[in-house]
Amino acid sequence: MSLKLKIRLSVLLLLMLLLGLGGYAFFAIRYLEHGAHGIEPTDFKAARRAVLAFVGAGTAVGLTLMVRLPRVVVRPLRRLATDVDRVAGPGPATRVAVGRRDEVGSVAAAVNRVLGQAQNERRATLAALITQQHRMESLVRSLDEGLLLLDEHGTVVLANPVACDLLGLPAAALLGRPAAAVAQAHEPLRALLVPLAEANLAGDDVPDPVFTFAHKGAEPHYQLSISPIAAAADAAGRPAPGGHIFCLRNVSNFKKLDEVKSNFLATISHELKTPLASIKLSLMLLQDARTAAAERQVLAAGIGEETQRLLGMVGQLIDVARLDAGAGVRLNVQALRLADVVAYATRTVRPQLDDKGIGLETHLPDTLPEVRGDVEKTTWVLTNLLANAIRYSPAGAPLVVRAVAWGEMVRVSVEDGGPGIAPEHQRRIFERFAAVPGQAAPAGSSSGLGLSIAREFIEAQGGQLWVESQLGAGSRFLFTLPT
């Protein structure tokens, strides 16, 4: 029975009792008005009892309705409210009880539908949040920069593996602890907090500091940038402070680049100064009338050699500038015989060979196939490799040039008897301006651009250039060209 029907029946019953009492009184009054005769005292008593009965019944029904009706109406509503509170609480309940098929039951069923939809949306939102959190965690873990996040109270709430590795502390020793408390017993973290105390934040006019970490050695350099985090706005609409994020960016390559630039400027200054000074001295001697004609010829030849050296150096710089600008390598690819290339390169370096008393052996099979390449670029590469080998070989040490068929390629190698190159430096020597650490550069050393340009030339022709070397056992530089 629905709640509405119960209320209607209760009101109808009360109305019938009232109508019955009123009707009885109405007809009794009419009867008396028309001069009722023969009314006995017993009739009055019966009438009085009837009226009292109606009054009593009406009073009883009224009292009953007054007590029961609110309970009938309020009890299921209270039960529904209790169930809703239980569902809204932290417990496991997710539905309200549907006890009856009345209006309250309909409301409970509607509440269950709403709760079901809210639960589905909550699950979807929670799944999206968890997915987003996992993505952010994966992103933070995979960064090669150290990240350290402090909340508005200075408590460490995030530290990625790179930051933990740089600080030499596990994440458990950082997360959830005040950074100042951890820094009291940890010097690296204390040093990182100094820029924050000095309000040296990212984007200001003060350069971001650079740190090295003792347990990592002196090689890696990390630049610290501190960025504030803005939280929700306060009552006045101003953004409230939400903490700071510390970002440790590895700037070792930039440091190396600065060092390389400095070394390059020093080298290029020396390389330019030496031939210019020689040219100036030769010109002074040429201007001297006492200089004999034969000596003038020697001085003129020396000026030509020094000028050619300067032109070669400037040409290398121009090639590097063109490669940096993305212009690429201009090639004139054609079929060529490596024997001709070796012969020309050998003639070019013959004065240097004779000057150091170095012998040169060439091993070129008669059946060696022709290759596809640029004659000028290939000759330049071989000449550069021979010049390097002569420069680093001791006097009297032999050099060997070999060429062999190598599948669909031809492999050319230049072997010297120099000091050799450690494995950890063999890739670095092909970088621009690179030099082998701990190895003294011989007199007349180059600017460090030759091998870098040589690799560009060979790779542009479809080949490869690499080195095989051991310390104290000499080096062998090899390159390939397609047939």
- In order, the DSSP letters of 122-158 are HHHHHHHHHHHHHHHHHHHHH-SSEEEEE-TTSBEEE
- The pLDDT assigned to 456 comes to 83
Using CA atoms, how far residue 405 sits from 160, 334, 339, 362, 376, in Å, is: 52, 18, 13, 15, 21
Q: How far apart, in whole angstroms, are the C-alpha atoms of residue 279 and residue 304?
A: 9
| Position 33 pLDDT exceeds 60 | no
- Tell me the H-state helices in 184-337: 187-197, 252-287, 293-324
Q: Of 464, 454, 466, 456, whose CA–CA distance to 329 is shortest?
A: 456
CA atoms within 13 Å, Cβ hemisphere of 350: 7
Please name the residues in contact with 295: beta carbons below 8 A apart, sequence gap of 6 or more.
Answer: 285
For the stretch 338-352, pLDDT in tens is 999 898 888 888 888
How many secondary structure helices (H) and strands (E) does the chain include?
Answer: 11, 12
Q: How far apart, in whole angstroms, are the C-alpha atoms of residue 444 and residue 306?
A: 12
Reported as type and span, the H/E element at residue 16 is helix 3-33
- The pLDDT assigned to 436 comes to 64
| Position 290 pLDDT exceeds 70 | yes
Tell me the whole-structure pTM to 2 decimals: 0.47
CA angle 431, 329, 375 (to 5 degrees): 100
Q: Which residue has the higher pLDDT, 327 or 41?
A: 41
Confidence of residue 410 (pLDDT cuts 50, 70, 90): very high
Contact 226, 246 (CB under 8 A): yes
Question: Position 391: which residue type?
Answer: R
Query: Lowest-confidence range among 132-141, 157-166, 180-189, 234-243?
Result: 234-243
Q: Which residue has the higher pLDDT, 395 or 43?
A: 395
Cα 240 vs. chain centroid, distance in angstroms?
Answer: 27
Cα 36 vs. chain centroid, distance in angstroms?
Answer: 110
Q: Of 21, 17, 25, whose CA–CA distance to 61 is shortest?
A: 17
Task: For residue 412, count CB atoms less than 10 angstroms from its CB and return exposed for 0-12, middle for 13-18, buried for 19 or more.
Answer: buried
Q: How far apart, in whole angstroms, are the C-alpha atoms of residue 77 and residue 476?
A: 93
Q: What is the token pair recorded at 104?
A: 């309250």
Q: What is the token pair recorded at 363?
A: 């091993």
CA angle 105, 108, 111 (to 5 degrees): 155
Q: What is the token pair recorded at 241?
A: 């402070």
Q: How far apart, in whole angstroms, are the C-alpha atoms of residue 395 and residue 483?
A: 36
pLDDT, averaged across the chain: 77
| Position 156 pLDDT exceeds 60 | yes
Could you give the angle at which helices 293-324 and 450-460 cross, rounded to 10 degrees?
A: 60
- The pLDDT assigned to 377 comes to 85
Q: What is the token pair recorded at 247?
A: 């970002």
- The pLDDT assigned to 163 comes to 86
